[in-house]
Structure 1
Amino acid sequence: MVVDKREILAANPLLSGLPEGVVEELMAVSVLRQFADGDCVYAKGDDGDGLLGVVQGRIRLSNSSRDGKELLVMLIEPGDWIGEISLLDGLPRSLDAFAMGDCAVLFLPRARFDALLKAKPELYQYFIPMLCRKLRLALSYVEGVALFPLPARLAQRILELLTFYGIADDKPGILIDMHLPQEDLAKMLGVSRQAISRELKRLEAGHIIELAYGQLRILDKAALQQELDRHA
Structure 2
Amino acid sequence: MPAKAMETMLRESLWAQTLAAEELDRVVRESYERELPAGGFVMRRGEPADLWLGVIEGLVKMSLSLADGRVSTFTGVTSGGWAGEGSLLKPGPWRYDGVAMRPTRVACVPRHTFERLVSTNLDFDRFLLSHINARLSLFIGLMEFDRLLGPDARIARCLASLFDPILYPQASSFIRLTQDEIGLLSAVSRQRANRALHALERAGLLRVEHGGVEVIDLEGLRNYLGEEGAGSPSPCS
TM-score range normalised by the length of the shorter chain: 0.7 to 0.9
Normalised to the residue count of structure 1, the TM-score between the two structures is: 0.80
Corresponding residue number in structure 1 for 2:90: 89
- 2: CA distance, partners of 1:10 / 1:79: 11
Unmatched 5+ residue regions in structure 1? 168-173
- 1: CA distance, partners of 2:138 / 2:65: 18
Percent of aligned positions that are identical: 25
Q: Higher mean Cα deviation, 191-200 or 40-49?
A: 191-200
Shift in Å at residue 138 of structure 1?
1.0
Unmatched 5+ residue regions in structure 2? 232-237
Shift in Å at residue 166 of structure 1?
4.4
Shift in Å at residue 223 of structure 1?
3.8
RMSD, aligned α-carbons = 2.8
Corresponding residue number in structure 1 for 2:52: 51
The number of residue pairs the alignment matches comes to: 224
The answer on 1:60 being equivalent to 2:61 is yes
Q: Higher mean Cα deviation, 54-63 or 134-143?
A: 54-63
SS of 1:89 mapped into structure 2? coil
Could you say if the C-alpha distance between residues 56 and 198 of structure 1 is closer, same or farther in structure 2, counting changes exceeding 3 Å? Answer: closer
The answer on 1:153 being equivalent to 2:157 is no
Shift in Å at residue 78 of structure 1?
2.9
Shift in Å at residue 108 of structure 1?
1.6
Match runs of 1:96-107 below 5 Å:
96-107=97-108
Q: Give the letter for the 1:217 counterpart.
A: E
For residues 18-63 of structure 1, give each alpha carbon's deviation from its aligned partner in whole angstroms, at most 9, with x where no partner exists: 2223212322322233333432222012211121222233323222
- 2: CA distance, partners of 1:38 / 1:126: 31
- 2: CA distance, partners of 1:122 / 1:207: 41
Corresponding residue number in structure 2 for 1:206: 203
For residues 102-124 of structure 1, give each alpha carbon's deviation from its aligned partner in whole angstroms, at most 9, with x where no partner exists: 43322221124324433445642
- 2: CA distance, partners of 1:207 / 1:106: 37
Normalised to the residue count of structure 2, the TM-score between the two structures is: 0.79
Could you say if the C-alpha distance between residues 21 and 37 of structure 1 is closer, same or farther in structure 2, counting changes exceeding 3 Å? Answer: same
